[in-house]
C-alpha cells in the first residue's frame, strides 16, 4: 500500500513538474514570436541580465526592453492569469454541479459581463470604467440567478442552473437591445470586437492590480478541494461527512464567479477554455479536486498563452483570441461529449 501511494505521489509530482516546465517553455516561445522575431537565446540572455546574472548588451538592451517587457510580457502574464482563472472556475463549477459540461458561463456571468461592457461602450466611458461595469455585470448576473433559484425555497443544484439560465437569457436580451440601439458605424463594431475577446489593450499596470485578486480567488477554491470532493459524491453523503453543503456551494460559486468576472472584464469573451481545460487536466491527474484545480490552472495558462500567440502571429492583422479558442475548442469539446457519455464524475 505504501509503495503504491509513494509511486502515485511521485507520478503526480512529475506531472506537475512537466506542466510547470511546459508553461515556462510556452512563455519563452511566446516572447520570441511576433512581427519582430527574437531568438530564444537572446531572450534568455536579456532575462538573465535583468536578474543581474550577466552584463546587459548596451546596443540592444533598450530595444529588447521595449519589445519584451513593455509589449509582449503583459500579454503573456495576462494570458496565463486569465487562462488559469477560467479553467479553475470551470473545474469548480463542474464539481459543484456534478456536471461535466458546466463552464464559467453556466450561471450567466458571461452574459452579464457582456452587457456591462456594451453599456460602457455606448455611454462612451473610459476603459477602466468598462472593466468595472463588465465585472459588476458578471457578478450581478450570477447574483440574480441565485435569487431566482431561491424564490421558492432552498435552492438545489438544478434550480441554480435554471436560475442561471434565466439570468443569462435576460442579460443576453438586454445586450441585444444595446446592440440594436448602438451607432452602427462606431459603437456597434466596438461591441462586437469586445465580444470576440482580445488581450491587445492590456497593460502591465492592469495585470499588477488584477492578477493578485485572481490568485487569491484560485487559492480559495484550491482550499475547498477536499470538501468539493465530498460534494461530488452527493449532497447526503457530504452532509454525513460534516460538510456544510449550502455554504460550500455558495462559497465555491462566489469565488468562481469572482475570478471569471475579473477575467472577462480584462479580455472580453473567451469561451471554451473553462469547459475543456479541466477535462484535459482530469485525464492527467484524476478527478480529485486537490490535484485537479491546480492542474487545471496550469493547463489553462498554457493553452491561452498558445492561443494568444497564434492570434497575433498567424495573420497580418491580429485575430480576436476568442475565435482561436473556439476553433481549438471544437475538437476538445467533441472529446468531452464522448467521455461525458461514459460518466466523468
In this predicted structure, what is the pLDDT of residue 345? 46
In this predicted structure, what is the pLDDT of residue 47? 84
In this predicted structure, what is the pLDDT of residue 128? 85
| Cβ atoms of 105 and 216 closer than 8 Å | no
How far apart (Å, rounded) are the C-alpha atoms in residues 305 and 288? 26
Could you list the beta-strand ranges (E) of the chain: none
Q: Which three cell numbers stand for residue 226?
A: 477536499
In this predicted structure, what is the pLDDT of residue 339? 61
Task: Please list the alpha-helical segments (H only) found in the chain.
Answer: 2-32, 40-50, 61-64, 73-97, 109-123, 127-149, 157-181, 187-196, 204-223, 225-232, 235-240, 245-267, 273-285, 289-311, 321-342
| pTM reported for the whole predicted model | 0.91
Which class would CATH give 2-342? mainly alpha
How far apart (Å, rounded) are the C-alpha atoms in residues 124 and 120? 6
Residue 317 is given by DSSP the state: S
Q: Which three cell numbers stand for residue 161?
A: 442552473
Q: What is the pLDDT along the chain (345 residues), one digit of tens a residue?
A: 455 557 778 888 899 999 999 999 999 999 998 888 788 888 888 888 887 777 777 778 888 888 888 889 999 999 999 999 999 999 999 888 888 778 888 888 888 999 999 999 999 888 888 889 999 999 999 999 999 988 877 777 788 888 989 999 999 999 999 999 999 888 899 899 888 888 888 888 888 888 899 999 999 999 999 999 888 777 788 888 788 888 899 999 999 999 999 998 888 888 888 888 998 898 888 888 999 999 999 999 999 999 999 998 887 888 899 889 888 877 776 766 666 555 544
Residue 315 is given by DSSP the state: S
In this predicted structure, what is the pLDDT of residue 5? 57
Domain range annotation of the chain: 2-342
In this predicted structure, what is the pLDDT of residue 344? 47
Question: Measuring CA to CA, which residue among 217, 221, 220, 247 is closest to residue 235?
Answer: 247
Locus of grid cell 450581478: 140
Amino acid at each position: 500500500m505504501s509503495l503504491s501511494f509513494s509511486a502515485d505521489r511521485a507520478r503526480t509530482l512529475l506531472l506537475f513538474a512537466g506542466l510547470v516546465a511546459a508553461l515556462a517553455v510556452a512563455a519563452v516561445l511566446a516572447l520570441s514570436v511576433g512581427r519582430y522575431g527574437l531568438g530564444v537565446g537572446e531572450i534568455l540572455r536579456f532575462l538573465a541580465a535583468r536578474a543581474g546574472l550577466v552584463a546587459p548588451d548596451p546596443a540592444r538592451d533598450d530595444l529588447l526592453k521595449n519589445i519584451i517587457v513593455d509589449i509582449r510580457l503583459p500579454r503573456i502574464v495576462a494570458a496565463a492569469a486569465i487562462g488559469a482563472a477560467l479553467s479553475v472556475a470551470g473545474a469548480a463549477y463542474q464539481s459543484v454541479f456534478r456536471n461535466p459540461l458546466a463552464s464559467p458561463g453556466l450561471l450567466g456571468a458571461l452574459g452579464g459581463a457582456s452587457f456591462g461592457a456594451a453599456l460602457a461602450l455606448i455611454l462612451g466611458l473610459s476603459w477602466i470604467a468598462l472593466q468595472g461595469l463588465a465585472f459588476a455585470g458578471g457578478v450581478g448576473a450570477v447574483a440574480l440567478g441565485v435569487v431566482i433559484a431561491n424564490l421558492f425555497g432552498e435552492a438545489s443544484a438544478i434550480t441554480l442552473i435554471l436560475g442561471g439560465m434565466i439570468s443569462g437569457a435576460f442579460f443576453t436580451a438586454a445586450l441585444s437591445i444595446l446592440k440594436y440601439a448602438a451607432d452602427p458605424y462606431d459603437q456597434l463594431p466596438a461591441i462586437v470586437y469586445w465580444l470576440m475577446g482580445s488581450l491587445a489593450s492590456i497593460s502591465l499596470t492592469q495585470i499588477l492590480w488584477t492578477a493578485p485578486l485572481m490568485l487569491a480567488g484560485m487559492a480559495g477554491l484550491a482550499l475547498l478541494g477536499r470538501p468539493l470532493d465530498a460534494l461530488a459524491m452527493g449532497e447526503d453523503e457530504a452532509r454525513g461527512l460534516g460538510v456544510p453543503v449550502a455554504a460550500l456551494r455558495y462559497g465555491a460559486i462566489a469565488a468562481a464567479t469572482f475570478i471569471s468576472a475579473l477575467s472577462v472584464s480584462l479580455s472580453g469573451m473567451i469561451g471554451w477554455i473553462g469547459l475543456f481545460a479541466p477535462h484535459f487536466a482530469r485525464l492527467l491527474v484524476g478527478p480529485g479536486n486537490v490535484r485537479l484545480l491546480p492542474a487545471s490552472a496550469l493547463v489553462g495558462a498554457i493553452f491561452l498563452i498558445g492561443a494568444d500567440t497564434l492570434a497575433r502571429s498567424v495573420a497580418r492583422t491580429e485575430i480576436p483570441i476568442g475565435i482561436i479558442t473556439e476553433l481549438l475548442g471544437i475538437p476538445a469539446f467533441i472529446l468531452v461529449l464522448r467521455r461525458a457519455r461514459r460518466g466523468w464524475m
